[in-house]
């Protein structure tokens, strides 16, 4: 019997992880759903670099604070507020859904800290995987992974590969010291005090303009420069997200907040 992965710090959305295996889950099925309750109260969702062109149409793309930043799609500007999904997890406005959210409740994880091997796991608290009468079978009668499971595994493997490319992109930004602490000030109207949003990072445009031409050419050739501009252009959507919160009666509730 495989043991659960030893990970005290579970990723967002996940309440637990159990490795999928035919001995224990031979009769399990995976149900599809049009609701994503795990997104209902999530205001920021991780992104991979491949998703920047699609995500920039709907969300500001920022970078988390700290020494190991990751790209995030902002679905709301305040903690616990998502302006694209209602409280039950139903999408209220058509928009791109990040792959991080679409892979739930599955995830590739290490079963022990001393191995690099990843196993397909699922969140046992989810009501999308279990012994149901409906849904896609996860294993066939011979105990082999079904076509559905193979597709789930492929999607998660592609996500992990995209994650590695994203990490390489972030290392380039850090290598050239292009990240700066971000701050956005937005007013409800001209007579009101501004709401200040901090707690994130963004590309320093002044340092970007000062970069050497040969480095910029290299970035242009390998596609990294277009990712930087996708991030910068997307920041204009911050005020649109602010307006969505106001129109939906979801805040903002304080003058200073962490994005």
Strands, sheet with 29-30, edge to edge from the N-terminal-most edge strand? 129-130, 29-30, 136-137
The residues pairing with 18 across neighbouring beta strands, listed in sequence order, are: 122
Average pLDDT of the residues of the chain: 92
Q: Is residue 138 part of a domain?
A: no
Residue 6 has pLDDT above 60, yes or no: no
pLDDT tens, position by position, 118-152: 999 999 999 999 999 999 999 999 999 999 999 99
Domain assignment present for 108: no
Q: Are 106 and 158 in contact (CB under 8 A)?
A: no
| Residue 180 is assigned to a structural domain of this protein | yes
Q: What is the rounded average pLDDT of the residues 192-205?
A: 93
**By CB neighbour count within 10 A (0-12 exposed, 13-18 middle, 19+ buried), where does 55 fall?**
buried
Q: Is residue 244 part of a domain?
A: yes
pLDDT in tens, 209-219: 999 999 999 99
Instruction: Calculate what percentage of the chain has a pLDDT beyond 70.
Output: 94
Structural domain including 188 reads 37-103+145-258
For the chain, what is the domain count? 1
Q: What is the pLDDT of residue 253?
A: 57
For residue 2, is it within any domain?
no
Residues 6+ apart with CB under 8 A from 168: none
Lowest mean pLDDT of 26-30, 66-70, 109-113, 130-134, name the range: 109-113
Residue pLDDT, tens place only, 217-247: 999 999 999 999 999 999 999 999 999 999 9
18: in domain: no
**CA-CA-CA-CA torsion for 141, 144, 146, 147, nearest 10 degrees?**
-130
Name the pLDDT band for 254 (thresholds 50, 70, 90).
Answer: low
Q: Evaluate whether residue 126 is within a structural domain.
A: no
Residue 189 clears pLDDT 80, i.e. is over it: no
pLDDT at 116: 82
Is residue 21 one of the residues assigned to a domain? no
The answer to whether residue 114 scores a pLDDT higher than 70 is yes
Give the mean pLDDT of 68-72: 97
Q: What is the pLDDT of residues 83-108, one digit of tens each?
A: 999 999 999 999 999 999 999 999 99
């Amino acid at each position: 019997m495989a043991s659960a992965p030893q990970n005290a710090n579970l990723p967002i959305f996940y309440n637990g992880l159990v490795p999928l295996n035919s001995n224990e889950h031979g009769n399990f099925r995976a149900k599809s759903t049009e609701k994503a309750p795990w997104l209902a109260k999530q205001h920021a969702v991780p992104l991979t670099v491949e998703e920047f062109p699609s995500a920039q149409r709907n969300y500001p793309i920022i970078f988390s604070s700290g020494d190991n930043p990751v790209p995030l799609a902002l679905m709301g500007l305040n903690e616990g507020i998502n302006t694209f999904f209602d409280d039950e997890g139903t999408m209220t406005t058509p928009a791109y859904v990040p792959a991080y959210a679409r892979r739930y409740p599955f995830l590739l994880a290490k079963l022990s800290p001393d191995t690099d091997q990843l196993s397909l796991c699922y969140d046992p608290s989810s009501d999308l995987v279990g012994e149901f009468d409906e849904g896609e079978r996860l294993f066939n009668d011979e105990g082999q992974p079904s076509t559905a499971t193979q597709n789930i595994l492929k999607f998660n493997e592609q996500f992990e590969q995209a994650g590695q490319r994203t990490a390489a992109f972030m290392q380039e930004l850090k290598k050239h010291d292009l990240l700066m602490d971000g701050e956005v000030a937005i007013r409800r109207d001209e007579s009101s005090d501004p709401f200040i949003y901090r707690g994130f990072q963004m590309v320093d445009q002044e340092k970007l303009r000062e970069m050497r031409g040969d480095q910029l050419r290299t970035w242009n050739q390998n596609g990294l420069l277009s990712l930087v501009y996708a991030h910068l252009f997307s920041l204009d959507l911050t005020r649109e997200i602010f307006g969505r919160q106001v129109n939906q009666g979801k805040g903002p509730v304080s003058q200073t907040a962490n994005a």
